[in-house]
């Protein structure tokens, strides 16, 4: 046997072990919170995609892009493709572990088979979505005739083509993202990066809607905000708790129950997110007060239907009183039906609140009784102080970034103005005097916040200034005319023109603020 054979065998075994560890890591080990982390991150990606679609819908070419697929479809596809990728990773790890019994199938062959299987699954999902969107009334899913209809519509109708390409892009994005999430361990920086990206896209979409003059409220967009915050906070809390738990486990062993710790974290995050949801609903109701009209219209309609005079007039003594028309047997008054439904809904809500309160009181009493018997010390990984510090640090970095950009822009404009003002004046004495007066005017306007652009002519600068201070139109016009004639026509100004320009500048100076 050659001497290189044991080394080659050892190297091959090490490579197989590494590959098995890589492909068997499908986020299936660990606690429930660690297994939930990839799905939370996939849901955050779905929220970001939904926000981007809402922002694209404000532009005319993409007016109805958010109506191609429903909002819940994004979350279903993101989590479903992640589960599919995790299943593929587990199967590939199982095949690698049993490669000696699989007939000598190579790792390259296994990768090709898994890639083809995953790509075929994405293609099947694309066909199912196309069938659900357009052809549920024409043919059954397993009937191949609808494929010919779909091919004809996609090739001949540009609208169908664009929608099909858009659906394929979404499925491809979530497929690649699910494959990436299934092959990596979720860390804190991954959650923070996704959270920052989502906040940036959300602020950008709200700014675009505000600048575009969109006055209608989008309930889906307003409900995505608390959902996105809940998913981000829960994912960040779980990943921080997992890191702390692993540190304590390696240092001094696991303390307490992992399930109890994650349950407390989930409860605290859920309560905080419910507060955010109530705030979002309150903002939505304030911006769109139609719900108040829908609640009060039946009551006022019922008040209007009540008789206004119960006593008959004095002149109608012997006549027959008018009898109001009543509903026949088996018919109910619609106003009373609406009121009964409203009362039933209120009673149901009150009953649910009472039962929930009693259940929480009983659960607290049982836990207190249990804690008296078995005393355990729990250290919660959730810290309000840490959350406040992170929130302050986020807003501080955001504020510093904004002011840093504004300061850089101001310094750049100041540098350009300094270069323009440091230019040496040449020509006759009268020409230099006119240019010095106009340069003093430009410095004063720059300090007041009206900087002249590099590519802006004196006439354009005058027109822009008049929009902010129309009171100085005469002085500004004389000042600009004398400077333009002297600077660009090559004529020498007279003493009268210089005196008029100096007087106009003295009168204009207190008006530029």
Q: Do 417 and 434 share a structural domain?
A: no
In a domain, 129, yes or no: yes
Q: Do 393 and 265 share a structural domain?
A: no
Q: Which of 240, 273, 292 is the last residue of a domain?
A: 292
3-state SS, one letter per residue, for 60-75: HHHCCHHHCCCHHHHH
Q: What's the pLDDT score for residue 252?
A: 47
Q: Do 120 and 15 share a structural domain?
A: yes
Q: Do 487 and 448 share a structural domain?
A: yes
Residues 102 and 108: beta-carbon distance below 8 Å:
no
Q: What's the pLDDT score for residue 61?
A: 62
Residue 413 buriedness (CB in 10 A; 0-12 / 13-18 / 19+):
middle
Task: Please state, in angstroms and rounded to a whole number, the distance separating the CA atoms of residues 481 and 499.
Answer: 14
Q: What's the pLDDT score for residue 1?
A: 33
Mean pLDDT by 10 residues, the chain (513 residues): 34 42 48 81 86 75 66 82 81 64 57 73 79 73 74 74 80 83 81 84 80 63 79 83 69 59 77 74 63 64 60 46 47 53 62 75 72 53 77 82 69 59 68 82 81 80 81 81 81 81 82 75
Residue 31 buriedness (CB in 10 A; 0-12 / 13-18 / 19+):
middle
Backbone angles phi, psi at 67, to 5 degrees: -100, 0
Residues 53 and 146: beta-carbon distance below 8 Å:
no
Query: Tokens for 456?
Result: 């802006």
The single-letter DSSP state of residue 435 is: H
Radius of gyration of the chain (CA): 36
Q: Do 501 and 411 share a structural domain?
A: no
In a domain, 313, yes or no: no
Q: Do 159 and 30 share a structural domain?
A: yes
In the chain, how long is the greatest CA-to-CA distance? 130
Residues 57 and 64: beta-carbon distance below 8 Å:
yes
Please report the sign of the dihedral spanned by the C-alpha atoms of residue 30, residue 34, residue 39, residue 41.
Answer: negative
Q: Do 273 and 408 share a structural domain?
A: no
Q: Do 149 and 47 share a structural domain?
A: yes
Q: Do 139 and 11 share a structural domain?
A: yes
Q: Do 261 and 140 share a structural domain?
A: yes
Query: Tokens for 171?
Result: 């499925």
In a domain, 449, yes or no: yes
Residue tagged 């201070």 (tokens): 469
Task: Please state, in angstroms and rounded to a whole number, the distance separating the CA atoms of residues 463 and 435.
Answer: 20
Task: Please state, in angstroms and rounded to a whole number, the distance separating the CA atoms of residues 54 and 454.
Answer: 38
Range of the domain at 402: 383-422
Q: Is the pTM of this model over 0.85?
A: no
């Amino acid at each position: 046997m050659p001497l290189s054979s044991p080394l080659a065998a050892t190297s091959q075994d090490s490579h197989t072990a590494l590959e098995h560890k890589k492909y068997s890591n499908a986020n299936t080990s660990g606690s429930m919170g660690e297994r939930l982390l990839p799905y939370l991150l996939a849901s955050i990606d779905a929220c970001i995609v939904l926000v981007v679609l809402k922002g694209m819908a404000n532009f005319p070419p993409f007016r109805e892009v958010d109506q191609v697929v429903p909002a819940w479809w994004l979350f279903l596809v993101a989590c479903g493709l992640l589960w599919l990728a995790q299943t593929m990773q587990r199967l590939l790890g199982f095949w690698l572990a049993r490669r000696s019994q699989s007939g000598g199938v190579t790792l390259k062959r296994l990768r090709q088979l898994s890639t083809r299987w995953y790509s075929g699954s994405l293609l099947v999902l694309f066909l199912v979505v196309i069938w659900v969107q357009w052809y549920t009334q024409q043919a059954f899913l397993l009937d191949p005739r609808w494929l010919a209809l779909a091919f004809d519509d996609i090739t001949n109708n540009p609208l169908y083509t664009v929608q099909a390409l858009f659906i394929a892009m979404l499925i491809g994005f979530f497929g690649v993202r699910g494959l990436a999430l299934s092959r990596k361990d979720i860390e804190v920086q991954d959650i923070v990066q996704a959270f920052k990206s989502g906040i940036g896209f959300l602020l950008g979409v709200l700014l675009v809607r505000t600048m575009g003059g969109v006055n209608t409220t989008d309930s889906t967009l307003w409900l995505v905000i608390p959902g996105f915050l809940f998913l981000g906070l829960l994912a960040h809390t779980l990943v921080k708790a997992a890191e702390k738990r692993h540190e304590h486990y390696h240092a001094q062993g696991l303390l307490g129950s992992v399930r109890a710790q994650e349950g407390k974290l989930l409860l605290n995050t859920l309560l905080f997110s419910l507060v955010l949801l109530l705030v979002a609903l309150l903002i939505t109701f304030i911006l769109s007060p139609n719900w108040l009209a829908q609640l009060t219209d039946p009551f006022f309609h019922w008040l209007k239907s009540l008789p206004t005079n119960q006593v008959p007039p004095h002149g109608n003594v012997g006549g027959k009183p008018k009898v109001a028309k009543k509903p026949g047997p088996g018919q109910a008054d619609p106003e009373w039906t609406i009121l009964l439904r409203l009362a039933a809904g209120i009673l149901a809500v009150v009953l649910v609140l009472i039962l929930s309160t009693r259940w929480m009181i009983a659960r607290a009493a049982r836990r207190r009784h249990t804690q008296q018997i078995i005393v355990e010390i729990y250290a919660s990984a959730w810290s309000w102080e840490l959350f406040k510090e992170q929130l302050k640090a986020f807003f501080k970095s955001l504020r510093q970034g904004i002011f840093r950009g504004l300061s850089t822009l101001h310094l750049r404009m100041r540098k350009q103005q300094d270069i323009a003002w440091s230019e040496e004046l040449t020509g006759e004495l009268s020409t230099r005097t006119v240019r010095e007066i106009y340069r003093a005017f430009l410095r004063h306007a720059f300090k007041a916040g009206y900087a002249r652009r590099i590519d802006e002519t004196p006439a354009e600068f005058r027109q822009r200034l008049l929009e902010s201070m129309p009171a100085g139109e005469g002085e500004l016009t004389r000042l600009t005319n004398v400077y333009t004639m002297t600077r660009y026509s090559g004529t020498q100004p007279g003493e009268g023109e210089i005196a008029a320009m100096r007087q106009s500048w003295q009168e204009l100076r207190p008006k530029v603020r």
